[in-house]
Amino acid sequence: MAYKAAILALLALPSVSAWGAMGHEAIAYVASNFVSANTKAYFQSLLGDTSADYLATVSTWADSYRYTTAGRFSAPYHYIDANDSPPSSCNLDYSRDCGSEGCVVSALTNYTTILLDGRYSQANHQIAAKMIIHFVGDIGQPLHCEALDVGGNDIDVLYDGEDTNLHAIWDSDIPESISGGSSLASAKSWANTLTTAINSGEYKSQAAGWLTGLSVSTAATRQATAMQWAAEANAYVCSTVLKGGLSAVENKELSGAYTTTADPVVKLQVAKQGYRLAKYLDAIVAAI
């Protein structure tokens, strides 16, 4: 009965997934297009899935897990609360912004350590892999790296005439307006478009630079890698998300010009975190 009640409670909760499920799946599909053969074999074996969807199908697991009794402890792991002052000042400080219960930076650091440690069980390694796949996505969403108004959750806006909040439109509405839907097929199609952009299009000259500083060799370098990614995302809070201040977005319709301005940032961050996820997983497998 307790298990049934927990499931019913989970179903009743709103979806709060960085980039929404579709965005996380798109990031995972981009990653699956760039991982090495050894990495693909390792994670397909670990996750028990030999299909092409092996990363995408677990990319939102961490969001479901956080709403279970067993996984409630992981809720703070999905964000880092930058206590800065957008739009005049955006910045991150680990000691200031990563709370005592942890944050996305500490979580990515710690779950990488677990996956690299052969003393943990296969079940522990599976959980760590799912967390890493998800948190590399979370850390690229600007409002998951911002404390103001609960990362924009308390900033009321309109989107296509519907009442919502600023965080939600960055999670789902804007990405879905780009990909054309919220399905797994939409995520895969968008990921293929972004993959082409990385291989031969607008991101080709940038992609190598996205990997600067990426390292899993020590706990310190893992944390530094995660902090670098979070700081990049946080900077967009000032330059794009809240560029005009609260008055420019609060209770405003954001499906028009605002979305047009946000589109390139969303595309870039999803492409960037997908490519980084691939190379981060490659680095982990190379170190095991």
Domains of the chain in start order, with CATH, are: 2-287 (1.10.575.10)
66 is catalytic: yes
Q: Which of 81, 84, 171, 282 is catalytic?
A: 171
Hey, what's the torsion of the CAs at 112, 115, 119, 121, to 10 degrees? Answer: 130
Q: Which of 66, 125, 222, 276 is catalytic?
A: 66
78 is catalytic: yes
42 near 122, Cβ under 8 Å? Answer: no
Q: Which of 61, 81, 97, 167 is catalytic?
A: 167
Listed residue (17, 252, 276) closest to 143, CA to CA: 17
Question: Amino acid identity, residue 74?
Answer: S
Residue 19's pLDDT is: 78
Q: How far is CA 191 from CA 16, 27, 156, 272, in A?
A: 21, 7, 30, 11
Q: How far is CA 264 from CA 24, 103, 174, 260, in A?
A: 17, 27, 10, 8
Residue 20's pLDDT is: 87
Q: Which of 81, 84, 138, 282 is catalytic?
A: 138
Q: Which of 125, 134, 222, 276 is catalytic?
A: 134
Q: Which of 84, 97, 144, 170 is catalytic?
A: 144
Burial 5-41, CB ≥16 within 10 A → b, else e:
eeeeeeeeeeebbbbbbbbbbbbbbbbbbbbeeebbe
Both tokens of 79, joined, read 């964000």
Residue 11's pLDDT is: 33
96 is catalytic: no
**0.75 surpassed by pTM:** yes
134 is catalytic: yes
Mean pLDDT by runs of 10 across the 288 residues of the chain is 36 51 97 98 98 97 96 97 98 97 98 97 98 98 97 97 97 96 96 98 98 97 98 98 97 97 98 98 97
